Amino acid sequence: MIPENGFSKGEVGTLAPSATAAVIEIQHLKKSFGSNHVLRDVNLSIQKGENVVVLGRSGVGKSVLIKCLVGLVEPDAGTIRILGKDVSQLNYYELDRLRAQVGFVFQSNALYDSMTVRENLEFPLRRHYMTKSRREIDALVVEALENVGLLKAIDLMPAELSGGMRKRIGLARAMILKPDIMLYDEPTTGLDPITAREIDHLMLKVQEKYGTSAIIITHDIACARLIANRIVVLIDGVCLHEGSYEQLKNSSDSRVRAFFDDV
């Protein structure tokens, strides 16, 4: 059953971005691993409140792109500006502060196996030296778990969770600092269709409730159709085409239409 998220059936995915300056600006981004030129010349901007889906075949550099944004991978060339800051010019402490404003949901969920759900959610608060009382921390953990419908799992270990539950906990942990930007790396991979759509609705709920801007890396066309304000297609290391779901589905470029052939 899809969780309550504030959207009626006809309204899902219709939240419009604000007409403000870009919160993410990527210019001429390049990244190679030896002779493998993964990102050749990526140019992309994300507006406040916008969900942008990046589509691409496996191995084309989608995950590398968002890892470059937060400094997990160092690009070879190009400029990345997040919330007005040039990432390449930040020192360690400045980058750490910026990361607190960017929630990252890993494809593998990246939960700590030796920690309970509660402890996993508390970790970002301690990692970023948030000076909060025990009561404030408890309230943030409860709010985050209520957002994903899993308060009952607060004292469980990751091994006791299903794949869909782990995805939800990963989302809750990424949201606990109430970041301005969310980065989702293949959020529905490995899930059955019903659970995948539940995760899609949770991402829409985050966008609506907190006004976040997001990049969603996926090859799940149903996910893209449901949550994207805009879809960007990454081919041969460049953002070759962008537009709405319907625009890309009817593209004159057969390489783009191939993503939609089975829909």
The CATH code of the domain that includes 249 is 3.40.50.300
Q: Does one domain contain both 135 and 37?
A: no
For 5, residues 6+ apart whose C-beta sits below 8 A from its C-beta are: 201, 202, 204, 205, 208
5 within domain boundaries? no
What's the CA gap between 182 and 85, in Å, rounded? Answer: 16
9 within domain boundaries? no
Q: Does one domain contain both 234 and 220?
A: yes
235 within domain boundaries? yes
14 within domain boundaries? no
Query: How many CB atoms lie under 10 A from the CB of residue 136?
Result: 12
Q: Does one domain contain both 47 and 118?
A: no
Q: Does one domain contain both 81 and 190?
A: yes
What's the CA gap between 65 and 43, in Å, rounded? Answer: 11
68 within domain boundaries? yes
Alpha carbon of residue 127 to chain centroid: 20
Residue where one domain finishes, among candidates 178, 209, 229 = 178
Task: Give the long-range contacts of residues 83-90, CB within 8 A, separation 24 or more.
Answer: 83/23, 83/180, 83/181, 84/21
Task: Please give the structure tokens belonging to residue 201.
Answer: 């609705």
Q: Does one domain contain both 70 and 191?
A: yes
Q: Does one domain contain both 83 and 141?
A: no
Q: Does one domain contain both 234 and 129?
A: no
Q: Does one domain contain both 189 and 255?
A: yes
Alpha carbon of residue 246 to chain centroid: 22
153 within domain boundaries? yes
Q: Does one domain contain both 71 and 52?
A: yes
Task: Please give the structure tokens belonging to residue 7.
Answer: 């959207």
Tens-digit pLDDT string for the chain (263 aa): 333 333 332 333 333 444 457 999 999 999 999 999 999 999 999 999 999 999 988 888 999 999 999 888 999 999 999 999 999 999 988 888 898 899 999 888 788 999 999 999 998 887 765 667 888 889 999 999 999 999 999 999 999 999 889 999 999 999 998 999 999 999 998 889 999 999 999 999 989 988 999 999 998 899 999 999 999 999 999 998 999 999 999 999 999 988 887 65
Q: Which 8-state DSSP code applies to residue 95?
A: H
**C-beta separation of 235 from 56 below 8 A:** yes
How many domains does one find in the chain?
Answer: 2
- Collapsing DSSP to helix, strand or coil, 92 comes out as helix
Q: Does one domain contain both 208 and 89?
A: yes
184 within domain boundaries? yes
Residue where one domain finishes, among candidates 158, 178, 198 = 178
Q: 41 is in which domain, residue-wise? A: 21-101+180-263
83 within domain boundaries? yes
**C-beta separation of 249 from 260 below 8 A:** yes
